[in-house]
Amino acid sequence: MLEPSVMLLCLRVKNLAIIDAVEVEFPAGMNVLTGETGAGKSILVNALSLVLGGRGGPQVVRTGADEAEVEALFDVADHPALRERAKAMGIDTDSELVLRRVVHNSGRTRAYVNGRLASASQLIELAQGLVDISSQHEHHTLVEAKNHVHFLDAFAELDPLRDAMASAYRTLTEATAAVAELDQRTQRRDEREDLLRYQIREIEELAPKPAEQLSLVEDRDRLRHSERLASLTLGAEDALYSRDAALTAELARVVRNIEEAATLDPRLIKLSQQLSSAHSELQDAARELGGYARGVVHNPSRLSEIEERLDALSRVSRKYGGSVEAALQHKERAKAELSELEHGEEHRAALRASVAAAAAKARQVAEELSAARKLAASKLGRAVSKELSSLAMGGATITVEVEPAAGREGELSVDGARLSTLGIDRVEFLIATNAGEIPRPLSKIASGGELSRAMLALKRVLAGLGPLGLYVFDEVDAGVGGAVAEVIGRKIREVSKHHQVICITHLPQIAVYADTHYRVQKSVENGRTRSAIVRLSAEEQREEIARMLGGIEITQQTRAAAREMLKTARR
């Protein structure tokens, strides 16, 4: 038995339709829900649909409540693809995924994933592959033709060819995009070449250097304020050193006095040394200030040159990126593009050769994949048709149609068939429910009972393939009974060996196969209708089967029949 890769651990529903508050934990295996008509069994399916991104409106909110809420806890520890999908959305998930949907009585809805607010589209994308719902009213993966190619490929074990196809397609699209980009750039090649040469020449003639502007700004500011700088620094030298009673002369007398005092009290030696050091540093500073002042040059001509240079650098910077560094980078890019344009024909020829090689490889893999699908299609059709024959649909046949995908102008194609990462095929399951009828798409089947059984047959054949998530069967017993119902029960039980299953049924022949049995019961309290879900013990399950067999009055005969049915199912 394969362990499911996705399991619904818990479903919590509040203020939805006639449900006040319900919380149900679901183990692995076949979970069966039974109860009287109108008790609220299918509301759980509606709750699941809602939390998986289905449409919700004010009509689903329990009368008198402000909002309805559904919360589902999934174990996704063994579904790395789903965890990667969540990670790509910025949602952290380790082994558990919590989806929550709130519908206000105004019709406004909110969605949450692991406690984080999410959009409805994010919820729908993330919920793909979690749950597959089969009912007469639900839209599910096996009815959607876009999913059929994945089921066929899984049945035929074509993963290696699919991976090769995806790789070949990526290589082809990248090569095609490179040619298109080159063609676009060279449409007006002569004009572009002239422009690039002008830009390169303009930058090279200016010959800017990194960080040059900063150095020139400093030089400009010194020249602009040369007279003031000379005056300030000469004044400082005069006050410190040159004039009578300069600071250094006064400090020299202080130093001598403290040196004499230090001979009388050794505690003053350190202060004497500090003052002597300060005197020396002031003398050095005074001499440097004097040297600086006498070196200041007032040069209007040099100032004009610098301002002209800065203006030219600023102008080029604005044109080519906002800085000298950006202009230099633009020059290198322009040189590379110019070289490419000048050698465009050689480069284009090389790129077109790459496209031709990639196209040949993509065609080869696509044709191999298509041939393998056509070979497997008839086998899958026969296998599903065989399953249908045991479900009182002996005249029904399934045809797996593999046709070239319709292409559109501008798309990659092989002999007119649209090429994608999946190859060149359009795959669709068709069904003829009676002998002699023309096969039609599954979505066009008129009878809900026939659709339910067709879905069950497909799922029975495909049960061990693909992500092993939750399967929900609602009303799959429509229009059947007796031996056929027993067969349906056995087949759903077989599916539950690979998938966690929730089955809502009215038939005891199906319910007896439950690993876990729940009864949905309706009551009226204080004038309000409430729906509750109770997990049944073995004895309670026998009573429920007897009720389903006997109706209102449960007799010893119906209890005995229930025990026998359960015993047979266990075998």
In a domain, 389, yes or no: no
CA distance 315 to 368: 60
Spatial CA neighbour of 234 closest among 294, 176, 160: 294
Same domain, 201 and 324: yes
State which amino acid sits at residue 220. R
**In the chain, % of residues over pLDDT 90:** 26
Same domain, 11 and 33: yes
CA distance 305 to 141: 76
- More confident position, 39 or 281: 281
Q: Assign 364 a pLDDT band (cuts: 50, 70, 90).
A: very high
The pLDDT of residue 105 is above 50: yes
Same domain, 225 and 329: yes
Same domain, 236 and 275: yes
Residue 19 · residue 62 · CB < 8 Å: yes
Same domain, 103 and 207: no
DSSP string for residues in 517-569: EEEEEEEEETTEEEEEEEE--HHHHHHHHHHHHHTTS--HHHHHHHHHHHHHH
CA distance 166 to 277: 79
In a domain, 521, yes or no: yes
Q: Assign 96 a pLDDT band (cuts: 50, 70, 90).
A: confident
Q: Assign 78 a pLDDT band (cuts: 50, 70, 90).
A: confident
Of the ranges 3-12, 512-521, 535-544, which one carries the lowest mean pLDDT score?
3-12
The pLDDT of residue 89 is above 50: yes
Same domain, 335 and 269: yes
Same domain, 566 and 524: no
The pLDDT of residue 446 is above 60: no
For residue 26, what pLDDT is reported? 92
Spatial CA neighbour of 72 closest among 119, 113, 108, 16: 113
Q: And the tokens for 419?
A: 């090429």
For residue 377, what pLDDT is reported? 95
The whole model's pTM is what? Answer: 0.60
Spatial CA neighbour of 460 closest among 491, 426, 422: 491
For residue 515, what pLDDT is reported? 93
Instruction: State the CATH number of the domain containing residue 48.
Output: 3.40.50.300
DSSP run (H or E) holding 36: none
CA distance 170 to 422: 11
Same domain, 525 and 544: no
In a domain, 457, yes or no: no
In a domain, 421, yes or no: no
For residue 76, what pLDDT is reported? 84
**In the chain, % of residues over pLDDT 70:** 92
DSSP string for residues in 121-180: HHHHHHHTTTEEEESSS---TTTSGGGHHHHHHHHHT-HHHHHHHHHHHHHHHHHHHHHH
For residue 139, what pLDDT is reported? 42
CA distance 570 to 564: 10
Q: What one-character DSSP code corresponds to residue 443? A: G
Contacts of 568 (CB under 8 A, 6+ apart): 512
Same domain, 207 and 329: yes
Q: What angle do CA 194, 200, 204 make, to 5 degrees?
A: 145
Spatial CA neighbour of 68 closest among 37, 46, 38, 98: 46
**Beta strand residue intervals within 257-340, DSSP E:** none
Spatial CA neighbour of 504 closest among 139, 6, 21, 43: 43
Instruction: Examine the fold and report which residue of 288, 320, 342 is the final residue of a domain before the chain moves on.
Output: 342
In a domain, 28, yes or no: yes
DSSP run (H or E) holding 475: none
Same domain, 322 and 272: yes
CA distance 571 to 569: 5
Report the chain's mean pLDDT, rounded to a whole number: 85
Spatial CA neighbour of 399 closest among 374, 368, 371: 374
In a domain, 88, yes or no: yes
Domain span at residue 85? 1-129+467-482+497-534
CA distance 365 to 371: 10
For residue 390, what pLDDT is reported? 77
In a domain, 387, yes or no: no
Spatial CA neighbour of 412 closest among 149, 169, 161: 169
Average pLDDT over residues 454-464: 74
In a domain, 428, yes or no: no
Q: What angle do CA 310, 313, 315 make, to 5 degrees?
A: 110
Same domain, 215 and 76: no
Q: Assign 372 a pLDDT band (cuts: 50, 70, 90).
A: very high
Residues 466-504 have pLDDT tens digits of 556 788 887 676 666 677 788 888 888 988 888 889 998
Q: How many domains does one find in the chain?
A: 3
Average pLDDT over residues 196-204: 91
Instruction: Examine the fold and report which residue of 296, 312, 342 is the final residue of a domain before the chain moves on.
Output: 342
Same domain, 198 and 329: yes
Q: Look at residue 410 and give its three-state secondary structure.
A: coil
Average pLDDT over residues 316-340: 89
Of the ranges 229-233, 449-453, 486-490, which one carries the lowest mean pLDDT score?
449-453
For residue 479, what pLDDT is reported? 65
Q: What are phi and psi of 186, to 5 degrees?
A: -105, 10
Q: Assign 1 a pLDDT band (cuts: 50, 70, 90).
A: very low
Instruction: Examine the fold and report which residue of 342, 368, 397 is the final residue of a domain before the chain moves on.
Output: 342
